Amino acid sequence: MIPVLFLLLAAQHFPLADAHNCYPYEGQWKNRIDRALSVGFPVAIEQDIAFANGKAVVTHTDKTTGSEPTLREHFFERVRPIIEKALKDNRRDQWPLIVLHFDFKDLQASLLREVWNVLGEYEPWIATAVKTDDPTQLSPFEMKPILVLTEDADQQEEVFFNQVAVGAKLRVFGSGHTNLIVPPTNYRRWLNYSWHAVEPEGQPKAGDWTPADAARLKALVAGAHKLGYWIRFYTLDGYAPSESQGWLDQYNFGTHAAVEIRWKAALDAGVDLIASDQYEDLARVVSARLAR
């Protein structure tokens, strides 16, 4: 079976480099979104979301201070010129330009409803699909320049799907539970895997890339695609400590060579979204593969 999102999006949009943690940390690393947007389109951009002063903000923690940028200002208003030009040009064969990925640090219903409302303000920019009366019946996307994904928490499904009326438009699409893989639903259309599923020892302790590692990766991808899911893995970095731009040690294979082997293995296996903090380096590898 061809993955559902391959059926509904242009095939040339895959795979995608996924800009991991694409927001400032405590006022630092403010250039991350500009770096992500500079690598070319299509691109995926992750925004971690929490609540501060009644607004959705981008941050790596739910312990907010009120100084964090809002989702509106940091993402939506930053990409306004890009999206307005895309809508004017109306090159639908090139959409989505951006896959916007939410990682919620706080699951309170008031925050989820605030994000739903923000998405409503920008609905002309984002891909939607009609909610069917049967969740197993997947409706096609009305494609726009931004496609919004979120993760697997049931609290999100309650607000973003269950509380949406049949016949109304879904604005955001969740991931399936990877520990209980069932076919996609109209809401849950992708899978989000930690790299530990491939190399259980984790990035810092990983040794040489082996045929057994490659086999595990290919099996996970093939299983997801057979069911009809799009699949993402996080997070694949490789750098010396002096090169870090606020990146997390837990995702670091230690060298460029070590991570590049794994990026290429992910591409060989058919991974749809590859998350990394090294946006530019990964995008170059993806572009080179697509040009072959």
pLDDT tens sequence across 172-203: 999 999 988 899 999 999 999 999 999 999 99
Task: Identify the pLDDT of residue 291.
Answer: 86
List the domain range (segments joined by +) for residue 261: 4-291
**Of 177, 89, 168, nearest in space to 132 by CA:** 168
How far is residue 185's CA from residue 225's CA, in Å, rounded to a whole number? Answer: 14
Domains identified in the chain, total number: 1
**Of 232, 241, 243, nearest in space to 276 by CA:** 232
Mean pLDDT, the chain, as a whole number?
94
Task: Identify the pLDDT of residue 290.
Answer: 87
Task: Identify the pLDDT of residue 5.
Answer: 46
Task: Identify the pLDDT of residue 6.
Answer: 41
Residue 277's domain is classified under what CATH number? Answer: 3.20.20
Band (13; pLDDT cuts 50, 70, 90): very low
Specify the amino acid at residue 5.
Answer: L
| Beta-carbon-side half-sphere exposure of residue 253 (alpha carbons within 13 Å) | 24
Task: Identify the pLDDT of residue 7.
Answer: 41
Question: pTM value?
Answer: 0.95
Q: Is the pLDDT of residue 3 over 80?
A: no
Q: Is the pLDDT of residue 14 over 80?
A: no
Q: Is the pLDDT of residue 126 over 80?
A: yes
